[in-house]
Amino acid sequence: MTTVLGCIADDFTGATDLAALLARSGVRVSLRIGVPAEAAACPAPFEIVALKSRTAPVDKAVAEARAALRWLQGSGAKRFFWKYCSTFDSTAKGNIGPVAEALMDDLGARQTIYCPAFPENGRSIFMGNLFVGRQPLSESPMKDHPLTPMRDSNLMRLLQPQVTRRVGLSDRLIVEQGPCALRTELDALRAEGVAHVVIDAVASSDLDVIAKACRDMPLLTGGSALAMPLPGLYLEDRVLAANAPVSEAPPLDPAAIILSGSCSAMTNRQVADYTRTGAPSLRLDPLELAEVGVAPVHDWVQKQPFDRAPIIYATAEPESVKRAQKRLGIARAGEIIEEALAACALTARQSGARRFVVAGGETSGAVTRALGLDCLSVGAEIAPGVPWCYGHSDGHQIALTLKSGNFGTERFFSEALEKLEVR
């Protein structure tokens, strides 16, 4: 079996988000943590390489994405998907556009599209402007993101400083006319020299139209929801075999831990909801960690009853985050939390935990690296775009879910553990 679609994601939670939606097809999805050193012995129909490049310098992000592309091509892929956040987390100096342009060059593609919409999770694009629920992106909680504060909602204005070729728009008035009209519009824009096209989508049906129109493009870019229709289209086109392999969930010890590094508005509510259940909880303070180290946290973890799924969290309100960043620096404040939560994951595994619920993109990257995970199979969804995944860590079979900060309902942490029991 060769790979039908090769995907590159700019962070770990985004990769699992994409994996979950592709896995809805029932076809096997393999999630690689970083670019593998060797070719896949048995590549999955859908292969995803998860990078940790969302806030990386442009040169580093481009080099990693190109390495991932070469690995995916070695697995047989001829169609590719560059996945980034549904809130387009990228400032004027960001790397979404540069990575896309580099992949286009390597593939000989004259045009690609940008559609981070995910209507099922409240992300929509209208006239090129990105909305979070009913709020423009620049008025949503993302305006205060500690690493990528989003102060403009217009995707063309965000993208144009990042790329060297023209940026254009196919708006909803075109999309609602169907795949043929959209394809004609894209061809006309390409003839005018427009290489980067933002496409509106306000409903899931719009994504179906876009996927149908663009399914033969060598490179698509966007949020995970754009990829969701592709398995069905590939089956129709006989690119994907009807008997493609599927995945099965393994049995697991119920011992669990929850690790939350995200400071998003939704994760704040999720932590508050879970702590009200009476489960053991510990809040991490970056200033305290900088002063006394991680040893007290390590001791706390060792004493916990993992059958009650304790939670360790650094989730805080924006003002608290800003105070820590002012004292420690933005990068160091985040690193201290990531390092502490990664150490907690190792201690928990050594103490018997086999189920890990992780919130936050940077935290997810730190935890997966600490656990030594390089390949995960994708299981059932907990919430749209958030699945349980399975892998091996130090000889132990474990389950892991990696949640983007704003995904899931307020009961997400409890729902995650309940979902694993009914797989």
Q: In the chain, what are the domain boundaries?
A: 5-236, 256-421
229 Cβ partners below 8 Å, 6+ apart? 207, 208, 211, 212
- Flag whether pLDDT at 301 surpasses 60: yes
Structure tokens at 198: 């933002």
Element (H, E) at 337: helix 330-350
Cα→Cα distances 101→77, 185, 195, 206, 257, Å = 19, 21, 9, 25, 40
Burial bucket for residue 302 (CB in 10 Å: 0-12, 13-18, 19+) = exposed
Q: Among the ranges 32-36, 90-94, 325-329, which has the highest mean pLDDT value?
A: 32-36
Q: What is the mean pLDDT of residues 323-348?
A: 86
The per-residue pLDDT for 343 is: 94
CA 276 and chain centroid, separation: 28
Classified by CATH at the fold level, domain 5-236 comes out as: Rossmann fold (3.40.50)
CATH number of this structure's domain 256-421: 3.40.980.20
For β-strands 29-33 and 46-50, DSSP reports them as: parallel
- Flag whether pLDDT at 250 surpasses 80: no
Are the CB atoms for 62 and 95 separated by under 8 Å? yes
Residues 1-37 have pLDDT tens digits of 789 999 999 988 888 889 989 988 888 899 999 999 8
Enter the DSSP assignment of 250.
Answer: P
pLDDT bucket at 314, cuts 50 / 70 / 90: confident
Q: Among the ranges 246-250, 319-323, 352-356, which has the highest mean pLDDT value?
A: 352-356
Are the CB atoms for 8 and 83 separated by under 8 Å? yes
What is the pTM for the complete model shown? 0.79
Q: What is the mean pLDDT of residues 370-379?
A: 90
Lowest mean per-residue pLDDT among 118-127, 195-204, 355-364: 355-364
Q: What is the mean pLDDT of residues 46-74?
A: 95
The answer to whether domain 5-236 and domain 256-421 are alike in fold is no
Residues 124-155 have pLDDT tens digits of 999 999 999 999 988 988 888 777 888 889 99
The per-residue pLDDT for 244 is: 65
Residues 254-264 have pLDDT tens digits of 999 999 988 78
The per-residue pLDDT for 326 is: 81
The per-residue pLDDT for 421 is: 60
Burial bucket for residue 41 (CB in 10 Å: 0-12, 13-18, 19+) = exposed
Q: Mean pLDDT over all residues of the chain?
A: 91
- Flag whether pLDDT at 422 surpasses 60: no
Angle between helices 330-350 and 295-302 (to 10 degrees): 30
Residues 163-203 have pLDDT tens digits of 999 999 999 999 999 999 999 999 999 999 999 999 999 99
- Flag whether pLDDT at 313 surpasses 90: yes
Q: What is the mean pLDDT of residues 29-54?
A: 91
Residues 213-247 have pLDDT tens digits of 999 999 999 999 999 999 999 999 999 887 665 56
CA distance 421 to 252: 10
